[in-house]
Amino acid sequence: MKSVEEIKTAIEAAVPGAGVEFVSNPSPSAQHSLRLAPDRAVEIARFLRDDPELALDFCSNVTGIDWLDKEFSEKVKVKRTVTKTIDGVEQPVEETVEETRKRVEPGYLEAVYHLYSVAKGHGPVVIRMRTGNRSDRVELPSLTPIWRGAEFQEREVFDLYGIVFKGHPDLRRLLMWDGFKDHPMRKDYVEPDDYEYEPTPHDAVLKRAQAHKAMAGK
């Protein structure tokens, strides 16, 4: 089978302007992947399935990842005008000072697909897509029209992470009930103090409620 770099080259030749990014995996597995631009993902997926050499005809797994906002501190040099006394006279002087500034890199959600070729007996090839953020830009194209095996797995990612797969034939919750709020696999998910639909052990509910109250007071 072609290497991930070779597959990237093949995609770029078949889908001009595809915007595919090589994602290195430094772990011992060295299972590198390809990040696809969402607006070209369906076209690229179709190529991966239909290309005679690759023939990636089976999607074995779809999973989600929640990447929280990251805060970075960086030192920058800036010019400041300060007043100094020179020869007994106060006068403005421009000097360069170093200050620390904080920068926030917005988080996002990611969908990761593992592809195999049943016909050729090779794989996996790992592809991924990321959303614009974790709040109001959480849409990605569904790849279920290309690999039918992704249908339930995209529903699971939608249910647990909140990624909205546009073009999915039946996008609705799979594990949680329709009235459930939020997405349990989000890293900032807070479990409710109690559930209306069934009784829960009083001591456990009380302990959780007290913990949430303490956190809210900080």
Whether 96 contacts 77, CB under 8 Å: yes
Average pLDDT, the chain: 90
How many Cα atoms are found within 13 Å in the side-chain-facing hemisphere of 125? 30
Q: What CATH architecture applies to the domain 4-67+108-183? A: 2-Layer Sandwich (3.30)
pLDDT band at 118 (very low <50, low <70, confident <90, very high): very high
Cα dihedral: 34, 40, 45, 46 (round 10): -150
Q: Where are the domains of the chain?
A: 4-67+108-183, 70-104, 188-218
The reported pLDDT for the residue numbered 193 is: 65
Report the DSSP pairing between strands 70-86 and 122-130: unpaired
Cα 76 to Cα 40: distance, rounded to the nearest angstrom:
38
Average pLDDT over every residue of 32-45: 97
Smallest CA-to-CA distance from 145 within 171, 125, 167 is with 167
Q: What is the pLDDT of residues 40-74, one digit of tens each?
A: 999 999 999 999 999 999 999 999 999 999 888 88
The reported pLDDT for the residue numbered 49 is: 98
Cis peptide before 124 (omega within 30 of 0): yes
